[in-house]
Structures are given as structure tokens and as C-alpha cells.
Amino acid sequence: MIRHRGRWTPQDRQEAIYRYLPFDVPPGTKGISVRYGYERGPDAILDLGVTDPERVRGWSGSERRHVVIGPRAATPGYLAGPMTAGQWQVLIGLYRVPAEGLAYEVEVELGAVDPGPLPAPPPRPERPPRRGLPAAPGRQWLAGDLHSHTIHSDGVLTPAALGCLAAERGLDFLAVTDHNGVAHFPELPGAGAHAGILLLPGQEVTTDEGHANALGAMPWIDFREPSDAWLATAEASGGLLSLNHPVAGPYSWRRPLIRRPPLAEVWHSSWDHRSDAPLDWWAAWGGIPVGGSDFHLSGSDGLPGEPTTWVEAEELSLGAILAALRAGRVAISAGPRGPAAVRHEDGIVILGAAGAALVGPDGFRRPTRDERERVPAGPGPYRVVDPSGSTLALIP
């Protein structure tokens, strides 16, 4: 048993937010078990991760107090694989440290480990009919969500169960963006095939000063690096980086960036649809707007597809969806089945929004009277709003 005990102080956090507690793994080790403890409170939160001599093996934030890593299995969010001999480290993030300091204890055990079985996936759901949104020849509008979590970080569902929930709600694709990890990537193809939905690989690069979704099949992004390094890794892998919930109180974006990522999560499930703050931020920042539910568990966030990001793509594939996002062929609605609006030819087609209004730049306002209307439109942005001024759909 290897033990580390001590007390972190606010000065420790100011000097370095990430701390490393070493332990040696001898040749032939069958696995490791790490436990840590402290008195958690609103101002007392420590994050947990583990590194081997070559890479970070996983990061669970403040979600778990006990993790195991072995050659063939590991706690969700951690990478199973060779138990490389040498110096490993318990990685501690000093997320919140109270003024009086925070006592902690870390215990590491070497030996065979068993993370336990995963829940069986639910039955494949029945999908509702796909909506017939008008699209350019050779393309189709696909309904998706670009922000969700599983048991591989702080969600409660397995990738298969999450995929079933999203498919049941009528989504065509869902980005699984667990915090600071890629351990969920290998499960996504099989889980998506079981549920009848395309599960996109993603990772939410998460720090105390802002979160960003890296969308695409790319290497793990080191959240300890500057934000421009995140963008460079995404670009080098053919993926996209999106700034998440940039106007969201303590979770707002506050990190420096030399270059701006192409996407911005303007519509997040926490947004009050009558507030102009995210839209004002977007007007100043620019970029292609997207939406994300940030789903963790039912009752705490929007369900998958709240909001829905629509993309006009040639096919339902990772490459085609990333290409459509990169080109700005997007629209956002509050949900997959409610009012929606998309660009088509030289106008905007509005569906299911009778009694609302299309609001555009320079004071443009057009009431919608029918369930399907077409309105000539120039450069945006445009919004569909209900009589109270709440946004129902957004068209860049």
C-alpha cells in the first residue's frame, strides 16, 4: 500500500493547479487501485486522474473516489492496457480549495483488479419518422446533438443506453463528449449500431476557466496545455473545436486564445431562451453556432436533442457531418420535433411555428401564420420567436 497524506492550501492552488503524487509500478504488476478522500463541500473539490510513464491513463474529475486500471479492463473513463513498469503518478486537480485548506489522503494498491460488469444495453428503440426538411439536391437535414456525457465521465448512462435514448427521441447523430478522456471511443461504433444512431467521437476539454468540445476521431487532448494547442490538435486530426456554453456563469469561457475555433455552442440547454446574452456574445465573437444539451442524466439537463443541431449533409457519416459543420450548413431548434427553420435556396423555410415570428437583422420581423412558410432571406442571423420573445429556432 502506498499512501500520500497532506493539506492543500489556496497558495498551493495559485502556484500550480495540477499536482502529481508518484508511485512505482514494478514489472509484472497485474493492475492498480487508487482511492482518494477529502471532506467535500461547495468550496472543497479535488479532481482525480492517473498517469503512467508514457501517458495519462484517465481522468474522472471529482466524479469518482476509487478507480482501477488493469491490462484488460479499467474503470470507465480510464484506459486498460499494458501495466508499464516505472513511475506512475496520481494526478490531482485543485479545483476548489477553501481558505482554511483541504486535508486529503490517497491510497494506491498494486495487484489484480476487477472494475465490475457494465449494465446490459437496453433493447433497440423504435425511431420516430424523420422530419422532411427541404434540402439542396444530394443533401439531407440530419438532427443531432453535439454535447453529451456517459459513465466514462460524469454521466449515468453507458454509451449504448445513451444512444438508445437519443435514437428514441428522433436524433440521427449524437456527439459523446466525455470530460478530458477518450476511453469511450472504442465503444461508440458498437453502441451506435445497437441503438440505430451515429455516435460521434468527441471529448470535452475541461478546465476551471472554460470548456471546449473537440469533435472527431482524434488523439487525447491534454487539458493542461494552452487552448491554442487544443485547436491545433483538432485541426491536425481533421476535427473541429467548439467553445462550450461561453456565457454560463462560473462555467463561462475565460481562457486566452490567439486564434478562434470554428464553432461556438451558442445554444446550451441552460440558456434562458428570452435572454440575448449568448446571442450578443456570438455577435461579437463570430463563428458557426451550434447547440448542445450537455446531457448527463434525466432531470438535470436537457434531454438529448434539447437543443437540436441540424446539419445539411450528403450522408450520415462522421466525415459528412464535420464537413457540413465546417461549411456552416447548420440550424438550431429547441427540440427535434418542435418548430424548426432551415435555409433553402434563396429563403428560409419555417415549420411548425404558426403564431410565431421570424426576426432578422436590421429590425426585420415577419409573423408566421401557417405550419409551413417560406420567407425570402439574405444574410443572417435569423430567429423564430414566440409571442413572449422566447427563441424557438436559430438560423445563421
Burial class (CB in 10 A: 0-12, 13-18, 19+), 380: middle
Determine the pLDDT at residue 108: 98
Backbone angles phi, psi at 241, to 5 degrees: -110, 135
List the CATH code of the domain at 2-110: 2.60.120.380
Backbone angles phi, psi at 131, to 5 degrees: -75, 145
CB 6 within 8 Å of CB 12: no
**CATH architecture classification, 140-337:** Alpha-Beta Barrel (3.20)
Q: Which residue has the cell 438532427?
A: 143
Q: What is the pLDDT along the chain (396 residues), one digit of tens a residue?
A: 999 999 999 999 999 999 999 999 999 999 999 999 999 999 999 999 999 999 999 999 999 999 999 999 999 999 999 999 999 999 999 999 999 999 999 999 999 898 888 889 999 999 999 998 999 999 999 999 999 999 999 999 999 999 999 999 999 999 999 999 999 999 999 999 999 999 999 999 999 999 999 999 999 999 999 999 999 999 999 999 999 999 999 999 999 999 999 999 999 999 998 899 999 999 999 999 999 999 999 888 899 999 999 999 999 999 999 999 999 999 999 999 999 999 999 999 999 999 999 999 988 999 999 999 999 999 989 999 999 999 999 999
Global model pTM greater than 0.75: yes
Question: Can you give the residue ranges of every domain in the chain?
Answer: 2-110, 140-337
CA dist., res. 110 & res. 30, Å (int): 7
Helix axes 159-168 and 188-195, enclosed angle (nearest 10): 30
CA dist., res. 247 & res. 268, Å (int): 9
Beta partners for 47? 93
Determine the pLDDT at residue 49: 98
CB 212 within 8 Å of CB 230: yes
Backbone angles phi, psi at 187, to 5 degrees: -80, -20
